[in-house]
Amino acid sequence: PQGRQRSRAACTPCRQRKRKCDGRLPCATCVRYEYQCEYDQKAKRASMPQNADVAQEPPPKQEMGRTPPSIIQLQAHPLTAPGARFHHRGILDPVKTRFVRANSAIAFPRILGMDLESESIPRLHSFAWHLGIRPEPAEERIIISKHISWMEFQNLASAYFKMVRPEFGLIDEAEFMEAMAARFLDPSGLKDIDSVALGMAALGSFFSATPHPKEEAMFLDAKRVLMQRSIGNSPTPNQIAGWILRTIYLRLTSRPHGAWMSSCIAMHQVEASGLHKEIQTIAVVYPQVPTNDHKLAKNRRRLFWIARSLNTILSFEYGRTRVNFDVVTTKKFAAESGTHAHQFMELAELLPNDFVDRDREPDPPAALSHALSKIEAMQTESHFISLLKADLAFAIYRRLWLMSLTDAKDRADLVISIGKSALTAVRKCLADKTPWWNVICTPFQLICVVISVGSPRSLSHIEEIMALMHDVATVYDTHMVREAYNQATALIAMARRRKQKELDAL
């Protein structure tokens, strides 16, 4: 019989614990107990086999998103105290997409089991969370095919991929449509993809020349799927995408509070699933997730940054607090042909936080002015991004106007210039019948800006802006548009009376 096989060199954790080591990197013991596997640099390891099933540790010099070096250094020394290797790291169950910090009540039994080096490690689970007196509510059945046929869905999805995806970059068309073809063949039960499908269908209907009669019903059912699946349970990537689509639809159709709340929920779902962390920076529980899965990494990054950017922009425009995380290690996604999503992300990242520590940002007006210059410098072929640039420039101007009239006056010409450039995008959207929210929002806010500046040069733009708002009201004869046009007219009348009083005082 073959004798006992020993590894030529044991890793540092196994040597310190006097554990059996198979000599791989990482070794089986370190994988099981989630130690950071490392070897003495003096040991000869040239012939040491590499474990092909488990991704290797990233190079020590690899940049980890926005993580401060001190945090990374703390993560790199796991053997200083029981459980210290988890102290600055979260724990992720990739099957249930459940992410918590290592200090969580539901994580401690598992970490304790690892520290005890037990053969039977407790799973990541909410043990003893409550008494269990009431059963969990049963899921309500939602059948997507009751609203639309497969052919109708294809048409609505086509409108979505033509109008919405180029701006936000969400959902891979070929892969998603293949999954939906299978879903329509078997529409029974409740699937995570349903929230995306229903949200996509509602948005596709919104951007279609002829809206689908079940648009509202599909949107409401998308919410029911999201509430059933992602509020009571850990969210999946599909459910996070569903919340993002819901946020976009609410921004297009409803009150600002609803869109902002939805964007905040999307961000909390992001945290719950660990999308704000690169896999390499998370202590991943079983089953192992390969850290070199480029498709997985790409999808995680895109979902995180679009959700974050949407929340940042809505919060900045609406005047609410954005959702912030202490440490973000998720890298930004790269630009892709056919989508302007990277510019959407870049715009959001230019915006300073309204509630920063004065020690970190001693001169908020300067930070706002710097962001304004960066926004003006961004070149884009997207009409939507052009409108968004103007909206954010106006949001910056409002802050400058409230905190420093001198800075507001100094930057007024630049703000108006950005706004004037956006009027061309409004005309393009009107001609194409593309009903982005900025089609009315941008010219209305520009009217507010030119009136607040109050100079003859700024007021000279009023006639052009009001003529364009009249065109918008002609194409979209709705209560919201008429209300905006009438309020702009009233503001102009107020400004005229103010100027007349000033003349009378001379």
The pLDDT tens digits of the residues spanning 10-66 come to: 888 888 887 888 888 888 888 777 677 888 876 544 444 444 333 333 444 444 444
> What is the SS3 string spanning 479-504?
HHHHHHHHHHHHHHHHHHHHHHHHHH
User: Per residue in 293-328, is it b (16+ CB within 10 Å) or e — as a string?
Assistant: eeeebebbbbbbbbbbbbbbbbbbbeebebbeeebb
The proportion of the chain whose per-residue pLDDT surpasses 70, expressed as a percent, equals 85
3-state secondary structure of 347: helix
d(CA 322, CA 311): 6
What single DSSP character describes residue 85? G
Residues 233-258, mean pLDDT to the nearest whole number: 94
Long-range CB contact pairs, 249-257, < 8 A, 24+: 249/199, 249/202, 249/203, 249/206, 249/219, 251/314, 251/437, 252/203, 252/206, 252/435, 252/436, 252/437, 253/206, 256/314, 256/318, 257/318
**Residue pLDDT, tens place only, 406-417:** 888 889 999 999
**Residue pLDDT, tens place only, 296-329:** 889 999 999 999 999 999 999 999 999 999 889 9
d(CA 318, CA 327): 25
What single DSSP character describes residue 135? P
Cβ neighbours of residue 4 closer than 8 Å, sequence gap 6 or more: none
| pLDDT over 80 at 343, yes or no | yes
d(CA 424, CA 390): 12
Query: What does residue 90 show for φ and ψ, rounded to 5 degrees?
Result: -85, 170
Q: Can you read off the two tokens belonging to residue 175?
A: 């892969």
d(CA 343, CA 345): 5
pLDDT at 8: 59
3-state secondary structure of 474: helix
Compute the residue count for the chain. Answer: 506
Q: Can you read off the two tokens belonging to residue 186?
A: 């078997």
Q: What is the DSSP string of 27-61?
A: -HHHHHHT------TTS--TTPPP-TTSPPPPPTT
pLDDT at 117: 77
H and E: helices and strands count for the chain: 20, 3
Q: Which amino acid, residue 23?
A: G
pLDDT at 46: 45
Residues 157-165, mean pLDDT to the nearest whole number: 98
Question: Is there a contact between 265 and 288 (Cβ–Cβ < 8 Å)?
Answer: no
Cβ neighbours of residue 110 closer than 8 Å, sequence gap 6 or more: 91, 121, 122, 123, 124, 285
Cis peptide before 287 (omega within 30 of 0): yes
pLDDT at 180: 97
Question: Is there a contact between 326 and 90 (Cβ–Cβ < 8 Å)?
Answer: no
The proportion of the chain whose per-residue pLDDT surpasses 90, expressed as a percent, equals 58
| pLDDT over 80 at 5, yes or no | no
Confidence of residue 256 (pLDDT cuts 50, 70, 90): very high
d(CA 117, CA 113): 6
**Residue pLDDT, tens place only, 168-222:** 999 999 999 999 999 999 988 888 899 999 999 999 999 999 999 999 999 999 9
d(CA 462, CA 456): 10
3-state secondary structure of 330: coil
| pLDDT over 80 at 232, yes or no | no
Q: Can you read off the two tokens belonging to residue 53?
A: 């099933």
Burial of residue 289, with CB atoms counted within 10 A of its CB: 0-12 exposed, 13-18 middle, 19 or more buried: middle
- Calculate ∠ Cα 248-252-253, nearest 5°: 120
Torsion of CA 167, 171, 174, 176, to 10 degrees: -150
Query: What is the CB neighbour count within 10 angstroms for residue 263?
Result: 29
Sign of CA dihedral 160, 164, 165, 171: negative
Q: State which of 3-7, 47-51, 74-78, 442-446 shows the largest mean pLDDT.
A: 442-446
Q: Which residue has the higher pLDDT, 367 or 346?
A: 346
| pLDDT over 50 at 77, yes or no | no
**Residue pLDDT, tens place only, 472-484:** 999 999 999 999 9
**Residue pLDDT, tens place only, 88-125:** 567 777 777 777 777 778 777 887 777 777 778 888 88
Q: What is the mean pLDDT of the chain?
A: 85
pLDDT at 87: 56
Q: Give which of 65, 104, 63, 61 is closest to 83, Cα–Cα.
A: 104
Q: Can you read off the two tokens belonging to residue 13?
A: 């954790």
H or E element, residue 100: strand 98-101
| pLDDT over 70 at 284, yes or no | no
3-state secondary structure of 91: strand
CA distances from 450 to 356, 420, 434, 466, 492 (A): 29, 11, 26, 12, 10
d(CA 305, CA 325): 13
CA distances from 142 to 25, 138, 199, 214, 223 (A): 47, 12, 14, 14, 11
Confidence of residue 286 (pLDDT cuts 50, 70, 90): low
Side by side, which strands form the sheet with 98-101?
98-101, 90-93, 283-284
pLDDT at 181: 96
| pLDDT over 60 at 75, yes or no | no
Question: Is there a contact between 331 and 286 (Cβ–Cβ < 8 Å)?
Answer: no
